[in-house]
Amino acid sequence: MNELNVNLPQASVSYAIKIEKGLLQKVGKEVAQLTKSRRVAVITDRNVDSYYGAAVEQQLADEGFEVSMIVLQPGEQTKTLSMMPQIFSQLIEAGLTRSDVIVALGGGVIGDIAGFAAASYLRGIDLVQIPTSLLAQVDSSVGGKVGVDLPEGKNLVGSFYHPTQVIIDPEVLNTLTDHYFADGMAEVIKYGCIWDADFFDSLLKLESRDAVMTEIEWIIARCCDIKREVVEQDEKDKGLRMLLNFGHTLGHAIEAYYHYEHITHGHAVAIGMATLTEISEARELTETGTADQLRRVLKMHRLPSEMEDTKVYNDILSFVRKDKKQLNNQLHVVLLNSIGTAATHQTDVSFFDSLRTGGQDH
Ligand SMILES: NC(=O)c1ccc[n+]([C@@H]2O[C@H](COP(=O)([O-])OP(=O)(O)OC[C@H]3O[C@@H](n4cnc5c(N)ncnc54)[C@H](O)[C@@H]3O)[C@@H](O)[C@H]2O)c1
Ligand SMILES: O=C(O)C(=O)C[C@@H](O)[C@H](O)[C@H](O)COP(=O)(O)O
Ligand SMILES: [Zn+2]
């Protein structure tokens, strides 16, 4: 087993990230070690429930927990404020009190919305993250960002709320579709870009999903460890943590432009990382050849580098203008110096002007 510990003494928070093939079979015992409570609500989505819901429910019941399953529709469109009343009603119906536990069993959508429910219900109850998509295992289950989207933009309502433990079983990735596996690889590649050139190089040697799966425990552990290191230095996203947003300024704008349909988070972030790096290389802010390296690794892992229809950029830029990480109308964009190192730059939306195809955005 790989075990990492996230320590945030200023927030009086400390939690373990456990990574082991087959760990889902021991989930009842893991949760039982964390709490004296007897009630657990498992929040999941229909897909994940169909594969793993019954087994998780049974294991928790075997440990004496009274278990309620809250099963949501899969997909980004579930991550909205309008879902919250339904979730809160189900938590009340299940009789969950302040000393009980919410288990988030699913991908990043479930982790974010169940985490937001845990942060708000009764002003906060314990949360255990059991991420089941690659993206959730390498990124969203760690670091405490929870929340929901608004039509105006991604993750515009939420909070920082840390789990009491993150339980990662890489074996569950076997049932993930290729599309969502690629989504997770976008965030994996992001870590190589902003933090670790050797890690990036190792991704260039793993040419297929099967090859990635041979190294999966190590890959997940490396990503979680980078995120741990960043979050421990800047929990509230005021400085260093913004590096984890590489590719997201444009990526989030693309997702919002498409109303959170048609393009998923990792694919949008892949386009954001490649497009931004092309622009910053043209402006001599990034070492020549970096965009090529990035496009190569994205292609290898079945990810796009650009929008199929470049005419939509004009309209996407109106969402970039609304990005939440602004200070005095200045955007924070994360640019690579070269593969493995990055820095935050303050700029305005005109940084993206080369994407315009004539006319003004509105
Ligand atoms: N909080 C954070 O720090 C953070 C970080 C990165 C991304 N995110 C958020 O995460 C979300 C994307 O997460 P995602 O890509 O996991 O999407 P997702 O939760 O929609 O999961 C992707 C799909 O895979 C299915 N699925 C999940 N695990 C499965 C499994 N083991 N087997 C079969 N199917 C499975 C789900 O049902 C869903 O259809 C976005 O909302 C993004 O904004 C949050
Ligand atoms: O944890 C972080 O910090 C990140 O930026 C990780 C991102 O991959 C993730 O998509 C996150 O949800 C973005 O946060 P936001 O604050 O830009 O909405
Ligand atoms: Zn992301």
Give yes or no for residue 361 having a pLDDT over 80.
Answer: no
Q: Which long-range contacts (CB under 8 A, 24 or more apart) does 21-26 make?
A: 21/169, 21/170, 21/171, 21/217, 22/169, 22/171, 23/167, 23/168, 23/169, 24/52, 24/55, 24/56, 24/130, 24/167, 24/169, 24/171, 24/172, 25/55, 25/59, 26/59
> In this structure, are residues 264 and 76 in contact, taking their beta carbons and an 8 Å threshold?
yes
Is ligand 2 within 6 A of the CB of residue 149?
Answer: no
pLDDT in tens, 8-28: 999 999 999 999 999 999 999
Atom of ligand 1 nearest to the CA of 45: 37
Determine the average pLDDT of the residues in 283-312. Answer: 96
Q: Is 318 in the pocket of ligand 2 (CB under 6 A)?
A: no
Mutate to test the pocket of ligand 1, among 23, 56, 110, 135 (most ligand atoms within 8 A of CB): 135
Residue nearest to atom 13 of ligand 2 (CA): 245
pLDDT tens, position by position, 114-143: 999 999 999 999 999 999 999 999 999 999
361: its two tokens: 């955005």
Q: What does the pLDDT read at residue 113? A: 98
User: Does residue 359 have a pLDDT over 90?
Assistant: no
Mean pLDDT across 131-156: 96
Q: Residue 52 Cα, ligand 2 centroid: separation in angstroms?
A: 27
pLDDT over 70 percentage in the chain:
99
74 lines ligand 1 (CB under 6 A): yes
Residue closest by Cα to atom 13 of ligand 1: 108
Contacts of 95 (CB under 8 A, 6+ apart): 39, 66
Q: Which ligand is nearest to the CA of 108?
A: 1
* Cβ atoms of residues 102 and 114 within 8 Å: yes
Which contiguous run of DSSP H or E holds residue 320?
A: helix 313-320
Cα-to-centroid distance, 98 and ligand 3 (Å):
30
For residue 48, the CA-to-ligand 3 centroid distance in Å is: 20
The yes-or-no verdict on residue 320 having pLDDT over 60 is yes
48 close to ligand 1 (CB < 6 Angstrom): yes
Instruction: For 198-251, write each residue's pLDDT tens digit.
Output: 999 999 999 999 999 999 999 999 999 999 999 999 999 999 999 999 999 999
DSSP result, 199-215: HHHHHHT--SHHHHHHT
Residue 322 predicted with pLDDT over 90 = no
* Model-level ipTM above the cut of 0.90: yes
Q: 148 C-alpha vs ligand 1 centroid, how far in Å? A: 13
Cα of 268 from ligand 1 centre, angstroms: 14
Mean pLDDT of the residues in the chain: 95
Rounded-to-integer distance, Cα 345 and Cα 353, Å: 16
Classify 311 as helix, strand or coil. Answer: helix
Using DSSP bridges, classify how beta strands 341-347 and 145-150 pair: parallel, antiparallel or unpaired.
unpaired
pLDDT band at 311 (very low <50, low <70, confident <90, very high): confident
pLDDT of residue 301: 97
**Rounded percentage of the chain residues whose pLDDT exceeds 90:** 89
pLDDT tens track for 257-275:
999 999 999 999 999 999 9
Q: How far apart are CA 80 and CA 152, in angstroms?
A: 12
Enter the pTM of the model: 0.97
Residue 145, ligand 2, Cβ within 6 A: yes
Lowest-confidence segment of 45-49, 144-148, 315-319 by average pLDDT: 315-319
- Say if residue 350's pLDDT is above 70: yes
DSSP assignment of 28-78 equals: HHHHHHH-S-SEEEEEEEHHHIIIIIHHHHHHHHHTT-EEEEEEEPSSGGG
Instruction: Answer yes or no: is pLDDT of 362 > 50.
Output: no
Binding-site residues for NAD(+), please?
108-112, 132-133, 145, 154
359 CA distance to ligand 2 middle (Å): 31
Q: Average the pLDDT over 343-361 and give the result.
A: 82
DSSP lists the bridge partners of residue 167 as: 18
Model confidence band, residue 356 (pLDDT cutoffs 50, 70, 90): confident
Cα separation, 93 vs 86, whole angstroms = 10
pLDDT score at 358: 59
Residue owning tokens 């004009």: 314
Counting from 1 in the atom list of ligand 2, the atom nearest the Cα of 190 is 8
Determine if ligand 1 sits within 6 Å of the CB of residue 139. Answer: yes
pLDDT greater than 80 at residue 81: yes
Q: What is the pLDDT of residue 93?
A: 98
User: Mean pLDDT over residues 280-288, rounded?
Assistant: 97
Mean pLDDT of 188-198: 98
